[in-house]
Structure 1
C-alpha cells in the first residue's frame, strides 16, 4: 500500500504539471470532458489488483463462481468511472468576491457553484493549494455560494492561483479533479504596527498636535508616548489607575493630519508602511481628516470608510507589491 501511494503521488504530480498549461481561465467556467481528469486512488489500485487476482484464481481453478465475482467487480469499476465523471461534469464555477484583509490574517474568497444538469452533486471538495478543503453537496438545478479560506503572508494585490475541484464519489475508487483559474483577487493591506506620531511639520496643511496652543480645543485622551510633553499628562486619570495618558488638543481652524512618508526616515520600507497603516486606521477611528504623502503619490485629506480603504490600498500596492500564497 505504501508503494502504491508513493508511485501514485509521483505520477499525479507529473500529470498536474503536464495539464497546468490547459487550465481554464475566466470569470465563470463550466466543467466538461475537456477539463475533467480521472485517475485511480490508492483504494482504486487495490480494487484493480483484487479483480486481477480473482480472475487468475478463477482461471487456475476453473471456478465459474469466482469468475462471476471478478466480472461483477470489473463492471462495478467501469460504472464507477461513469458516475465519478458525472459528479463534476456540468458544474459551473463563478467568481464572486473576496474580502480584503491585513497581511498575516486569514480571509475568504467566495465562488458560486451552479448545477446545470438535472442531477445532484455529492461530496465536492474545493480548495486553493495548501489551504483547508471545503466540502459541498449540491442539489439539482441549485446554486450555492461557497466561502473558501485563504491565509495571506504579505501585502499587495493577491490572486489566489488555481482552484482545485475534486471528488471521489461514489466509492472512493477513482478521483476526478479539475483546476480552474478564476478572475478573482483581493488587496492585502500592510499589517498595522504602532509607531511614533507623524512629523507634524511634514505636510503643507495644519495638523493637530499634543501641545496646547491658543484657541485649541480639548479633543480627548491618548496613551502617553515617549518624548511627548509631560505638562499635558492627565494626572487625575493616572491616579484612578487608568494608566499614563496625555490630553490632546485640536486646533479650531484645522483638524487635518498628513501621513508623510518622510516622517519616519529611520524605518525600513515595510515597517514604515505598517506604521502609516496604523495611524490611518487610528485617525479614521477618531474622526480626524488625514491625507497621504508617498513618493510619487498624494491623497488629499478626507475621512470615511471609502477614504480609508483608498489609503490602505495605496499602501498595499506601494512599490508594485503582490501578495503571496502557495500557488498550485
Structure 2
C-alpha cells in the first residue's frame, strides 16, 4: 500500500513538474525550477534550535536567547546562499553518441556559470552516479558527460536530470529537476547467433576479406573518409602525391546481402542482434554489404557512413 501511494505521488509530482518546467534544449534555473528543503543535518540543526529556545525560556537566560537567535539568523542567511548557488545557472543539452544496447549512453551537458562562482554541484540522473563539479565565474562554463544505462534498442530519452547542492553549510538541500531535450540512438546488442550466408552463391561460408587485395587491380583514386587504410598507396604519399587508394574490381559474388528472411526460427530481437553482428563484421573486413528488412532495403555499399545507416535502420525497426 505504501509503495502504491509513493508511486501515485511520484506520478502527480512529475505531472506538476512537466507543467512548471517543460522539456527544452536549454534551461536557465530560476525560482520556478529550484526547490529548497532541509537536509538531515538541517533537521538536526532545527531540533537543536528548538531545544535552545525551550531552555532559554525555562531559565530566562539572555545569553542562550542570543545564541539561539544568532544561529537562526545563520540558518536564514544559508537559505539565500544555497539558493544563489543554483539560481541563474544555464544548462544546455549537448550531443549523445550512439551506443549498443547494454552499454552506457554518454550525454554531453554544457553548464553556464553566469556572473558568480558555483560550488559543489551534484549533477546526474536519478538513481545513477552523480558528477560533482565547481564552476569558476572567470571560466564561465563547464562541460560534463552524464552516463545513463541503455537497456533497449531504439531512441533513448533519459528523462529528467537532477542537479543539487548543499553549499555552503550542508544544512539545506537545494535541487532542481530540469527536463532537457536529449535523445540517443541505441543500436541492437551485436550477437553472432547464426553464421553469415553469402546471398550471391546461396551458400554458407566465410566472409571474404576485401583487405587482401586479391581481386583484379583497376587503378587509383583519391582517398575518401571511411575507406580501409590497407588500400592506401603509401609510396605515392611518401612522394608528396597525396593520399591515393588502390581500386579493385569487385565481383557481384563478393557483395553480401544481410537478409531478415535468412534468420528463420529466431525472434525479432535475436534477428536484429545477429544482423548487427554481421554488419560490424563486414565493415571490419571491408566487404560491401546490403540490408534487407521486411519494410526497408539498403543497397550494397561499404564505409563508415553506410555502416551507420544500416545500424540506424536496425535500431529503429518497428
Pairwise TM-score range, normalised by the shorter structure: 0.7 to 0.9
1:123 pairs with 105, 116, 120, which one? 120
Indicate yes or no: 2:138 matched with 1:132.
Answer: no
Asked if 2 retains the 8 angstrom alpha-carbon contact of 1:138 and 1:144, the reply is: yes
CA deviations 1:207-242 (Å, max 9, x no partner) are: 89649xxxxx996xxxxxxxxxxxxxxxxxxxxxxx
CA contact (8 A) 2:119 2:133 kept: yes
Pair 1:206–1:182, CA change in 2 (3 A): farther
Quote the residue 1:109 is aligned against. 107
- CA shift, 1:197, in A, is 2.9
Q: Output one character per residue of 1:155-184: Cα deviation in whole Å (capped at 9) or x when no partner.
A: 111011100111111111111111111111
List alignment gaps of at least 5 residues for structure 1.
1-8, 212-216, 220-250, 320-328
Secondary structure class of the residue paired with 1:73: helix
More displaced 10-residue stretch of structure 1: 17-26 or 42-51:
17-26
**Distance in 1, Cα, partners of 2:173 & 2:13:** 13
Map of 1:150-161 to 2, 5 A cutoff?
150-161=148-159
Once the two structures are superposed, what CA deviation does each residue of 1:63-121 show, in whole Å capped at 9, x if it has no partner?
A: 1111111001100000010000000001000011112111111131111000112x210
The 2-side partners of 1:82 and 1:73 are apart by: 15
Residue 30 (structure 1) aligned with residue 43 (structure 2): no
Instruction: Give the Å deviation of 1:193.
Output: 0.5
For 1:72 and 1:18, locate their aligned partners in 2 and report how far apart those are by CA, in whole Å. 40
CA distance in 1, matches of 2:39, 2:11: 15
Paired residue secondary structure (1:181): coil
Matches within 5 A, 1:216-227: none
Question: Which of residues 89, 92, 97 in structure 2 aligns to 1:91?
Answer: 89
How far 1:13 moved relative to its partner? 5.8
The answer as to whether partners of 1:125 and 1:167 remain within 8 angstroms in 2 is yes
RMSD: 2.6
Q: TM-score, normalised by structure 1?
A: 0.77
Q: Structure 2 length normalisation: TM-score? A: 0.79
Are 2:256 and 1:257 aligned? yes
Determine the structure 2 residue equivalent to 1:279.
278
SS of alignment partner, residue 50 of structure 1: helix
Contact 1:208 1:257 in 2 (8 A): no
Task: From the superposition, tell whether residues 122 and 196 of structure 1 become closer, same or farther in structure 2 (CA, over 3 Å).
Answer: same
**What is the CA–CA distance in structure 2 between the aligned matches of 1:158 and 1:301, rounded to whole Å?**
28
How many residues are treated as equivalent by the alignment?
272
Structure 2, unmatched stretches of 5+, are 1-5, 207-211, 215-248
Say if 2:197 and 2:204, in contact at 8 Å, map to a contact too.
Answer: no
**Cα distance change on mapping 1:252 and 1:316 into 2, 3 Å:** closer
User: Alpha-carbon deviation of 1:150?
Assistant: 1.2
Q: Does the 8 A contact of 1:256 with 1:288 survive in 2?
A: yes
Provide the rounded CA distance (Å) in 2 between the counterparts of 1:314 and 1:160. 21
